[in-house]
């Protein structure tokens, strides 16, 4: 009886390592599946884009309020995905906007 319990305790580390391997394999599989579905959105300097409007503002129009703001020009891009925008009048934003919050504006 005691020997069986010691054998189980010795196998416990092996089972934990096997579980960690399964978790890592699952995460790799999920990352591969996600990356397969992601479509690249190549934006360049000078492109017209719309910026998403987010916030917890009380708006009487509720679900009928616009989801995207007016078109902007991309003034500058970084490799990390940040963009500096400029409106059509030439006014520049002082803070960068993430590319996740932009979509191309087709004229």
What is the tens place of the pLDDT at every residue in 42-99?
888 989 999 988 766 666 666 777 788 889 999 998 888 889 999 999 888 889 998 8
Q: State the CATH architecture for 48-104.
A: Roll (2.30)
* Whole-number pLDDT of residue 66: 77
Give the pLDDT band (50/70/90) at residue 39: confident
Q: How far apart are CA 50 and CA 65, in angstroms?
A: 15
The structure's pTM equals 0.57
Give me the residue spans of the domains in the chain.
1-38, 48-104
Handedness of CA 34, 35, 40, 41 (dihedral sign): positive
Q: How far apart are CA 53 and CA 69, in angstroms?
A: 6
* Whole-number pLDDT of residue 31: 95
Are the CB atoms for 40 and 92 separated by under 8 Å?
A: no
* Whole-number pLDDT of residue 61: 67
């Amino acid at each position: 009886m005691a020997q069986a319990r010691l054998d189980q305790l010795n196998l416990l580390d092996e089972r934990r390592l096997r579980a960690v391997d399964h978790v890592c394999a699952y995460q790799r599989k999920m990352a591969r599946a996600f990356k397969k579905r992601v479509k690249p959105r190549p934006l360049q300097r000078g492109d017209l884009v719309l910026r998403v409007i987010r916030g917890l503002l009380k708006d009487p129009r509720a679900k009928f309020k616009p989801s995207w703001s007016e078109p902007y020009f991309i003034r500058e891009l970084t490799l990390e995905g940040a963009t500096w925008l400029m409106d059509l009048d030439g006014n520049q934003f002082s803070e960068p906007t993430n590319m996740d919050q932009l979509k191309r504006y087709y004229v």
